Chains A and B, each alone.
Chain A
Amino acid sequence: MSRLADRRFATVVLALALLALAGCAGEPDGPGEAAASTPAKPAYGDVFVEPILGNISGLIPQLTNDMISSQVSSLIYSGLVDLDDHSRFVPALAESWDFGADCRSLTFRLRKNVRWHDGKPFTAADVLFTHAALVHPKTPTARRDDFAAVESIEAPDPYTVHVRYAKPYARALMSWATAMLPAHLLRTWVEQGKLREAPQHWTHPVGTGPYKFEEIRSGEKVALKANPDYFAGRPYLSRVVYRVIPSQATIFLELKAHGLDSAGLMRGLTALQYTRQTEYPAFRKAYAKYRYPASQYTYLGLNMKDPRFADRRVRRAFAHAINKQELIDGVLLGLGREATGPYKPGTWVHSPNVARFPYDLAKARTLLAEAGWTEKNAEGLLVKDGKPFTFELLTNQGNEERKKVAEIVQASLRELGVGVEIRVLEWASFIKEYVKKRRFEALVLGWAIGEDPDQYAIWHSSKTGPDDLNHVSFQNAEVDELLERGRTACRREDRVQYYHRIQEILAAEQAYVFLFFRDALPVVARRIRGVEVGPNGLTYEFARWYVPRGEQRYTAD
């Protein structure tokens, strides 16, 4: 069981976690495309060649922050639990688990006869060690908070672990999806505070996952080979080779020349490549294209410290004035979905029953008029108290998508008589000088959403300080309370009510003008079978992917 897709955003974004999904199926492109999974006899063998854009930065996953490293290490390591392609919790190293009635204790029963890649048995001691390693003051990890929340942890026998939290912690189960680390190899490194220098971080990682580390050539490739003793069954594909190719253009050419088996399972094609440049028979014959909503949305943020934007009617007017379908068609070539709130459509936490703001200029004008914007000056701009309604819209350099969004927003608001000036800034100074210091009027940005729906850091009114993430300064007492309840409940049935209500308020208030979720557009070589796309991507069952004997390309076994 691989965790590639799940890990992606958990690593990139810690602030927001568990976004679990249900329903919302990803779609293979067109009816004929699904033929890629024609049944054939599963067979062992063949190599999967996957491009990565840059070098990995290490193989102990808790020490790295980048997507590429966690993609590679997700095949080497396993956690106690895993998330499937619908973001349901499934057993991994733990056979089962129970929450105590007060949500404060959690008991895992571990799988027996699991072995590390070096042959040593995996036991509860390794779980205790992983916890100790991550809370050790000298371990440079961004995951500490999850484990610092643990009040006590003990192992009454080698296959049982009791965890107790000081107060109910919603991310508790989620946090145990983290990679378990081998105590017998890493203990001394952790105790010396030198975990990063351990050979397991670079050349000799030892995990319990479906693939064993084989070789790394810095800047060139990372190779993994199947672990025949994997607890969930030996993976079919004998090897996985990650080739470092820093240029997207080169990846695409390699794909056309059949040198790769995917365009990157995490990233996939661009909208233009997907709709135009791959629409020829030879490509369609060699690759199956897939499509599912990416865990990322784009929004227009209005700084509510600015009295004009503190008025909800103005924000709602903007929402009516921006045609979201036009945005999706123009920017994503139609490959995206409208966002009505900060959760992915079709997931368990997403609520479809929120206020909608269809494209309606007349309504937008009425709303602005109610807010006191009635007069227009010679240039056709709305005027109040002698000042024309103009503002600066910021976004970051290097993201064409956001630049185009800003341009369409500019044109849409001009229709209302609102003047928008676009400024594109270099990322580091944009964040540091403008976003963090709240020196902006409006911005186009995106959030990658994690696997837990807790968005306390983004919406809570206590998080409006300079280094906090509530940069639009949204404040709502009810949302505050719901956020607090949501992060201290451990059952999804309870949490879902809180998060549905939060979405209703965020939509009604237009805390952001939510724009769209883009689609992820991966391709996989057709000789690979068993590929299934869920709302959470397609890599969850990677260990069950196979190539029928007759179609195997690489003979190395």
Chain B
Amino acid sequence: MLLYALRRLLLALPLLIGITFVSFLVIHLAPGDPVELQTGDPSIESSAQAQKMLRELYGLDQPLHRQYWNWLTRIVRLDFGRSFAPDGRPVIQKISERLPVTLLLNVIELLVIIALAIPIGVLSATRQHSLFDKVTTVFVFVGFATPDFWLALLLMMLFGVQLGWLPISGLRSLNWEYLSFWKQHLDFVAHLLLPVIVATFGGLAGLSRYMRQSMLEVVRQDYIQSARAKGLAERVVIRKHALRNALLPIVTILALSLPGLIGGSVIVESIFAIPGMGQLMVQAVFARDYPVIMGNLVIVATLTLLANLVADLAYGFVDPRIRLAGRRSR
């Protein structure tokens, strides 16, 4: 098992380098470059000299392979470089001040989705074609089809403007520093409530449908038949025999959603004025801020590869068949 994990890790390394190389190439080939965007506004009379200076400052005057090599030699020392934005701040600093919020929001969102989607999926599967099944199906698809920003604005209008119960945007009230310890936390939770509701509502459909599907497949299996034939109570059949097996594919899906945890939702973040990764990334892409884009990409790629590995390992852990098969094939 350990050996397997190590092997996989070693194999992931060239893959990671490959990913960064292709991304680097694609990003640099995209039309527009940061210097042009900073100085190319037709209303700014920018001298060719200013452009040249910025190009040198960013190292964009060198050939592409040279630029990639420079970047790579820095990244292996975990030096993400400085942003091309006029603030010129270290990329790692920019990412690390945005990451916690996004992570927190996404983890809460994921937990709420799991807590709701699994029971919904199981219940709709065990009572297929019942009223509950139909109502939840409609409900989750409405959630799936509702545009985030529209729902967000409606909720903000109702709870923020009309009723005045919840704050509309941001993470903290302006007087946050002056609140007592508990009030600070309460304030924070109040600010997170609407964004979490909006994000959850949209994400519920996917997982609950997977769960329902997977459950429907499992209950048709022979071993469920035999469990029932043994005279086990339906509750035990579902919880112990069916659910555990039906959860297997869900584990994969969840593991693969790990890298997604650090990529924020642009829409939710913009509407609720939450300073997260989504906003940072979009701004970086618009400004062709290569170091920030690449920095984020390296983190996401690493996490994706790790998540793949974790998914495989977890799979083997939950399902002995896979572990054995894996051994034989080697």
Contacts and interface: CB of A to CB of B under 8 A. Distances in A.
Interface of A: 12-16, 47, 49, 54-58, 63-66, 69, 137-138, 140, 142, 144-145, 196-197, 201-202, 217-221, 241, 243-247, 249-250, 253-254, 256-257, 259, 428-429, 431-432, 435-436, 447-448, 457, 469, 471, 554, 556
Contacts of A142: 39, 44, 46, 50
Given A15-B44, A253-B157, A245 B174 contact: no
B273 A245 contact: yes
Interface stretch (B18-26, B225-233, B275-283): B275-283
B14 interface: no
Contacts of B36: 432
A416 B32 CA distance: 39
Contacts of A220: 170-172, 273, 275
A219 B280 contact: yes
Contacts of A14: 43-45
B53 A219 contact: no
A317 to B, nearest CB: 27
B135 interface: no
Contact of A429 (B31, B38, B153, B157): B31
B220 to A, nearest CB: 47
A250 B269 CA distance: 11
B80 to A, nearest CB: 15
B98 A219 contact: yes
B88 interface: yes
Q: Which of B82, B89, B169, B170 lies at the interface centre, i.e. has the most chain A CB atoms within 10 A of its CB?
A: B169
Interface residues of B, number: 53
A253 B161 contact: yes
Interface string B113-141: 00000000000000000000000000000
27 contacts: A13-B44, A14-B45, A49-B174, A65-B44, A66-B86, A138-B53, A138-B57, A140-B53, A196-B87, A202-B87, A217-B275, A218-B97, A219-B275, A219-B279, A220-B275, A245-B170, A245-B273, A250-B168, A253-B169, A254-B168, A257-B168, A428-B37, A429-B31, A432-B36, A432-B40, A436-B42, A471-B42
A556 B87 contact: no
Contact of B283 (A54, A196, A249, A428): A54
Q: Considering the complex of A and B, which 5 residue pairs feature the smallest CB-CB distances, nearest first?
A: A219-B275, A196-B88, A57-B86, A245-B273, A246-B270
B85 A57 contact: yes
Given A140-B54, A253-B160, A431 B40 contact: yes
Report which residue of B36, B149, B273, B275 has the largest number of chain A beta carbons within 10 angstroms of its beta carbon: B273
Contact of B273 (A218, A243, A457): A243
Contacts of B73: none
Given A219-B279, A250-B271, A428-B31, A554 B161 contact: no
B168 A259 contact: yes
A218 B94 contact: yes
A201 B85 CA distance: 12
A246 B44 contact: no
B290 interface: no
B59 interface: no
Nearest to A243: B170
B180 interface: no
Contact of A241 (B54, B94, B164, B174): B174
B182 interface: no
Interface in B66-87: 82, 85-87
Contacts of A457: 45
Contacts of A145: 45, 47
Contacts of A556: 175, 178
Contact of B174 (A16, A47, A137): A47
B272 interface: yes
Contact of B86 (A63, A429, A435, A554): A63
B156 interface: yes
Given A219-B275, A241-B174, A246-B279, A64 B86 contact: yes
B273 A250 contact: yes
A492 to B, nearest CB: 23
A219 B99 CA distance: 12
B151 to A, nearest CB: 13
B88 A197 contact: yes
